[in-house]
Amino acid sequence: METRSEEEGSRVELIDASEIEYVSYGGEHHLPLVMHLVDQELSEPYSIFTYRYFVYLWPHLSFLAFHKGKCVGTVVCKMGEHRNTFRGYIAMLVVIKPYRGRGIATELVTRSIKVMMESGCEEVTLEAEVTNKGALALYGRLGFIRAKRLFRYYLNGVDAFRLKLLLPRPELHPSLPMMADRDEPHTHDDHIPPEESSELYRGL
Amino acid sequence: MAHKPIESEARDPHVPVTSSISSGENTVWADVTSLLQAASQGLQEGELIHGDNFNLFAAMSALEIMDPKMDSGIVCKYYSVDEAIENGAAPVPLSFDKTIDVQCTIDIMDHLLSCEATWHKGHSLAQTVFSCIYLLRLDRTSSHAILHSYCRLIRATCKAVISVVSDARTHEEEDLFTMTYGLPLNGDGDGKCLSMLNAVEETISRQLRACKAPSSKKRVLEDIEPLQPNLDLEEGYCKALLCRLRFRKHFYHVLMCMRRPQGRGLELARKHIASCLSELECIYKSAEFLRSSACGNCEDGIEDKTTASGCEPIGFDASLNSRLSAPTPPRAIRILNWKKAIEYFKKLLHHLDIICSYSLDPSLEAVLRFVVQFQKPQPDLVARAHLQLLLVQDGKLYGRDPIFAVICRAAALPEVVKNHDIQKNEFVVQLGQLVINLLKILCTNAAWQRRKLGKILQDWRVIYVQLELAFKTEFGEMSSITNEENVCVKLSKHILIWVEEQTYWIASRFLMLGFELELYSPSEYCMVYWYIYVVLIKLAEKHHLKMVMSNDTGKRKGKKKRDSPKDVARDYQIPPAVLFLQCHISLAEGLTMLLAALRNENRVFQSLGPFNTEHEIFIQHFELLQQACIPDHISYLSFKDTTAYAQFSTLVMYNYFKDALRLAKELRSSFSNDPDRMAELRKIEQVAEHNGIALNVICRVGALDPSLKVSFEFNHHPYFATAVVRRS
């Protein structure tokens, strides 16, 4: 499904990261907000039933981001058994244009993945257009690899990557400390802007 | 049933209220608006009706009626083809003014060419070629000889192309191509379409001759009616029509010739390809004349036009087929512009020509190299399907060489072995199937191809084990030393080593295609090059072993005394094919260590996600290889062991690139007759040279200098990266 959250966006106002409120999907009153965001930004038409399918069966996997009472971003996911693997799937991710480039999308996805991990997911997957540099960078930073290329996956003829995140199996890492406890100084990688990395660690 | 709700606002006020869908024999229209309204009052927001076949998952397929993106029943302009025709959308003749009729005919031909190219590139037939109303009702055009014969021939051509692609059966992701339900592709008398076209061509040729003849001679020539009344334009229009008709004819001949079994028609196909290209040139050149004589109101922006004249063609409407195209309404597509369409056909013909020029080399190794080379410019589906059908017919290579014979030759066995009974063994038969399957896979698009190559690794591993057991069972019980036993031992040894070699070859292609498909990010290059390195070492080893074995068996026949070690050493040199692999190995190793050093010392190109580690990334990328034990005893730990202590100060690293460079230069003489391998050697040299220099720069400046930025680009080679060092 689709992701729209290019990290380069015009910064309309100065917003502190703490001004963004993240809320788990709470019920029918959130549904129109999610639908409105997704319908606006993504090109594939979804009927209301599609949204209901996700948020009814997996409400704990969908999150909304608010700024001063306005819904500025959302992530919609599911999880389930798929060929003997318990797998999470990111169906939709949207952040409205003026709010892009601030790590909101990363935070939404991170929250969802954490719930997936807690629920026992072994891996997380999604598709993204090969031209969607923003999404590819976002998921790449989170440890997703490009597992496959899907020729002309989208109706407009664009190829897609199937992105997959393999979560560590406990038996492989018996003494692995929680990521948040890792004391290593965060290295200055070209790919992660400073604001991003501090958010990641703060969120955990 | 779709019926415009009376009370709600009409989305499109121009849609007629009276439905043009009549009641059927057992059906009658009923207005259920009030019923639905009453029912919807009975549900609270968020409630959903459940049924045996209707749950939340099934509900996702629901369509919202009158949503233009979901409801393919929406009427755009005309409800049906017949209605369009009734309203004059596709007049026959196109105009009562013969000049305009000719202009319009040419425009239709051009637009059809653009549609055809658009279809080939991955859109549905219904939205492209069969958006032509004349094609949807071909019989209506029978009074218009030119249009009729052209349409008949294009229909027969589409049918032939679909047949090739369907027969190849490896177009899973491109299945839009062969969808033809509801389209009138079969016509009586299409077999005569060529003779019809020839007759038309003959007439126009005479018209051309007549108009070019000086006026004094005109009375002598047969009394022929001109194409159209405007004598100044007669020559231009005749020529424009002729090249278009001829292109169509020759293209059809190309397809027919290439379909002939065992490559018998390839030489003739090449002649028709040459004619096609020459007619395409004429078509292209006709644009100037057609634009200048075009009827008035053609706007600027000639670039996007689908016709040479720049005018919109009459008789096309893609929406008429919307219900036939796909389950959901098709997205509006852009028909390729006319110039791009010509470029597409030039490219297609060029690729078909490469196929037709192929020497049908009986060596499997040569076939594999040919196919890999063929795929480099990313040929489209039609060309790839033709290649596949040439290579694999009736379970034989080129429909000519039985697969067991091909395997024996590839395994460097003597010719006589190809008749051995062992070919009836079920596992040997399976091996043959794997080879055929491999050839088919190699003809598909790169994305699909890589997935399939990954999946078959397990099959090739398993067949090795099964063959080993089978050979032991069949041959193991022979107690006396006979000639027969020698043959059997030789057979099993050679085939087994060849299976291993082939397996590593598949693994190497799987890994390298990942670069071409952009599946790896820079932080993953190190492990990928390392894996390529270990796989290539095995590949070289097996290849070398196979050649040594065939040398030995060859030698043993001729000589009675054992060679002295000195003789063996002197006579034996490492074969160039193995050295060719060796320079790839050196490059892979060099890149692995360079990237490892950068990671260890500069802490760049690392995988530092919050949810997993490099170990998970490794597992994911190499899962299929690891599962199939390709190679054995290789794991993430081996990777860490090799790379954990890579440092720039370790001088030995310099030699990887130097070795690759030296070796590549030495090999030039061995492959001087092989242009593809010469090109590859040149690329290897460039990568080796540039990387060697980059390494020097990094060491000289000091790896830890913060102003140093290293990136990797694929400017010299598709899968070996070149390090680019920048000072900021």
Q: What is the pLDDT of residues A179-192, one digit of tens each?
A: 433 333 333 333 33
What pLDDT, on a 0 to 100 scale, did the predictor assign at position B478?
Answer: 54
Nearest-CB residue to B621 (from A56, A145, A189): A145
Task: Inform me whether the C-beta atom of residue B640 falls under 8 Å from chain A C-beta atoms.
Answer: no
Structure tokens at B275: 């004619």
The amino acid sitting at A63 is F
Q: What residue numbers bound the domain in which A179 lies? A: 2-202
DSSP codes joined into one string, B225-269: --SSS-HHHHHHHHHHHHHHHHHHHHHHHHHHHHHSGGGTTHHHH
Token readout for B697 is: 């720069």
DSSP 8-state secondary structure symbol assigned to residue B424:
G
Q: Do B206 and B256 sit in the same domain of this protein?
A: yes
* Band of residue B652 on the pLDDT scale cut at 50, 70, 90: low
- Would you call B110 an interface residue with chain A, using a CB distance cutoff of 8 Å? no
Q: How many CA atoms are closer than 13 Å to the CA of B491, on its beta-carbon side? A: 26
Axis crossing angle, helix B145-168 with helix B231-259, rounded to the nearest 10: 20
pLDDT given at position B562: 54
User: Given its phi and psi angles, is residue B315 left (phi above 0), alpha (psi -120 to 50 degrees) or beta?
Assistant: left
Mean pLDDT of chain B, nearest integer: 87
Q: Is A147 on the interface with B (CB under 8 A)?
A: yes
Residue B412, pLDDT > 70, answer yes
3-state secondary structure of B553: helix
B409's tokens: 């030759």
Residue A13: pLDDT over 70: no
Q: Are A204 and B610 an interchain contact pair (Cβ–Cβ within 8 Å)?
A: yes
Question: Quick one: DSSP state of residue B23?
Answer: P
Does B408 reside within a domain?
yes
Q: Which two structure tokens, joined as six digits, stand for B98?
A: 């013969």
pLDDT, one tens digit per residue, over B661-672 is 999 999 999 999
Say what the pLDDT of residue A9 is: 46
- Count how many domains chain B has: 3
* Boundary-marking domain end, from B330, B351, B372: B351
**Any idea which of B347-356, B586-595, B650-659, B716-725 has the lowest mean pLDDT?**
B650-659
User: Which DSSP state fits B132?
Assistant: B
Kindly tell me if the per-residue pLDDT of B726 is higher than 60: yes
Residues 6 or more apart whose CB falls under 8 angstroms from that of B55 comprise none
Q: What is the pLDDT of residue B14?
A: 45
**Least reliable range by pLDDT among A5-19, B383-397, B446-460:** A5-19
Q: What is the CA radius of gyration of chain B?
A: 33
Cβ distance A161 to B611 less than 8 Å, yes or no, reads: no
Q: Touching check for B601 and chain A: CB below 8 Å?
A: no
Q: Are B537 and B493 members of one domain?
A: no
Does the structure show a pLDDT above 90 at B155? yes
B6 inside domain: no
| Termini Cα distance of chain B | 67
Q: Does residue B399 lie within any of the structural domains? A: yes
Max CA pair span of chain A: 47
Alpha helices in chain A (DSSP H): 31-41, 48-57, 104-118, 133-141, 194-203
pLDDT of residue A15: 72
Contact partners, residue B652, CB within 8 Å, separation at least 6: none
| Pick from B63, B67, B615: CB nearest A172 | B615
Chain A neighbors of B62, CB-CB under 8 A: 47, 49
Residue B451: predicted pLDDT: 96
pLDDT computed for residue B688 by the predictor: 96
Exposure class string for B597-614: b at 16+ Cβ within 10 A, else e: bbbbbbebbbbbbbbbbb
pLDDT single digits (tens) B445-473:
999 999 999 999 999 999 999 999 999 88
Note whether B396 and B266 are same-domain residues: no
In angstroms, what separates the C-alpha of A4 from chain B's closest C-alpha? 20
Taking residues B213-234, report their average pLDDT: 73
**What mean pLDDT do residues B200-221 have?**
78
pTM for the structure as a whole: 0.88
Alpha-carbon gap, residue B446 to B509, rounded angstroms: 10
CATH number for position A68? 3.40.630.30
- Say which residue the tokens 């399918």 belong to: A53
**B52 in any annotated domain:** no
Q: What's the distance, Cα to Cα, between the start and end of chain A in Å?
A: 27
Q: B434 and B462, same structural domain?
A: yes
Pairing, β A63-67 against β A20-24? antiparallel
Average pLDDT, chain A: 81
Task: Assess whether pLDDT exceeds 70 at residue A77.
Answer: yes
**How much is the ipTM here?**
0.86
Would you call A143 and B610 a contact, using CB atoms and an 8 Å cutoff?
A: yes
Using pLDDT thresholds of 50, 70 and 90, give the confidence band for residue A201. very low
Contact (CB, 8 A) for A141 and A109 = no
Instruction: Please give the pLDDT value at position A176.
Output: 46
Distance CA A128, CA B563 (A): 63
B560 contacts B661 by C-beta, under 8 angstroms: no
Q: Which of A49, A143, A172 sits opposite B607 (nearest CB)?
A: A143
How far apart are the C-alpha atoms of B311 and B104, rounded to whole Å? 9
Residues B305 and B380 in one domain: no
Specify the length of chain A in residues: 204
Q: What is the C-alpha to C-alpha distance for residues B718 and B13, in angstroms, rounded to an integer? A: 56
Task: Examine residue B631 and say whether the peptide bond preceding it is cis (omega within 30 degrees of 0).
Answer: yes
User: Sign of torsion, CA B318 B319 B325 B331?
Assistant: positive
Q: Are residues B211 and B283 in the same domain?
A: yes
**B389, B506: one domain:** yes
**B52 vs B6 pLDDT, higher one:** B52
| Strand bridging mode A70-82 / A63-67 | antiparallel
Residue B192: closest CA among B148, B141, B158, B130: B148
pLDDT of residue A26: 94
Are the beta carbons of A164 and A145 closer than 8 angstroms?
yes
Listed residues B351, B367, B383: the one ending a domain: B351
Region B522-527 average pLDDT: 96
Is B617 within the bounds of a domain? yes
Residue A109 has pLDDT above 90, yes or no: yes
Q: Is B149 part of any domain?
A: yes
Q: A residues 86-115 near B, CB within 8 Å?
A: 110, 113
Residues B457 and B572 in one domain: no
Q: How far is A74 from chain B (nearest CA, A)?
A: 20
- Tell me the mean pLDDT in the region B609-617: 94
Same domain? For B138 and B253 the reply is: yes
Q: Are B512 and B641 found together in one domain?
A: no
- Distance (Å, whole) CA B457 – CA A53: 38
Does residue A198 surpass a pLDDT of 50?
Answer: no
Say how far apart CA B113 and CA B93 lie, in whole Å: 21
Q: How confident is the model at residue B286 (pLDDT cuts 50, 70, 90)?
A: very high
Rounded average pLDDT over B31-55: 83
Q: How far from the centroid of its chain's Cα atoms is residue A144's Cα?
A: 11
Examine residue B14 and state whether it is found in any structural domain, yes or no. Answer: no
Per the structure, the count of domains in chain A is 1
Instruction: Tell me which of B55-69, B258-272, B703-717 is least confident.
Output: B55-69
Distance CA A125, CA B535 (A): 29
Q: Closest to A147 (Cβ–Cβ): which among B64, B122, B620? A: B620
Average pLDDT over residues B110-116: 97
Residues 33-62 of A with CB under 8 A from B: 45, 47, 49-50, 52-53, 56-57
Q: Are residues B559 and B609 in the same domain?
A: yes
Q: Is A179 on the interface with B (CB under 8 A)?
A: yes
pLDDT on residue B173: 64
Residue B486 is predicted with a pLDDT of 78
pLDDT digits (tens, 9 = 90+) for B293-339: 886 555 566 678 999 999 999 999 988 877 666 556 667 788 999 99
Q: Which residues contact B518 (CB under 8 A, 6 or more apart)?
A: A130, A146, A149
Choose among B565, B569, B568, B529: nearest CA to B660: B529
Are the C-beta atoms of B594 and B724 separated by less than 8 Å? no
Structural domain boundaries, residue B454:
359-519
Q: Is B299 helix (H, G, I), strand (E, B) or coil?
A: coil
Asked if A113's CB is within 8 angstroms of B611's CB, the reply is yes
User: Which residue in the block uniquely carries the two structure tokens 């500069």?
Assistant: B602
Last residue of a domain, one of B334, B351, B368: B351
- Which pLDDT tens digit goes with each residue over B57-71? 888 877 777 776 677
String of b and e for A107-131 (b: at least 16 CB within 10 Å)? bbbbbbbebbbeeebbbbbbbbbbe
Position B398 scores a pLDDT of 95
Residues in chain B: 728
User: How far is it, in rounded angstroms, from Cα B246 to Cα B283?
Assistant: 10
Same domain, yes or no: B558 and B479: no
Mutation site, A55, A57, A142, A151, interface B, largest B CB count within 10 A: A151
Q: In the structure encoding, which two tokens stand for residue B568, read together?
A: 């063996």
* Whole-number Å distance between alpha carbons of B487 and B556: 13
Least confident of B208-222, B420-434, B486-500: B208-222
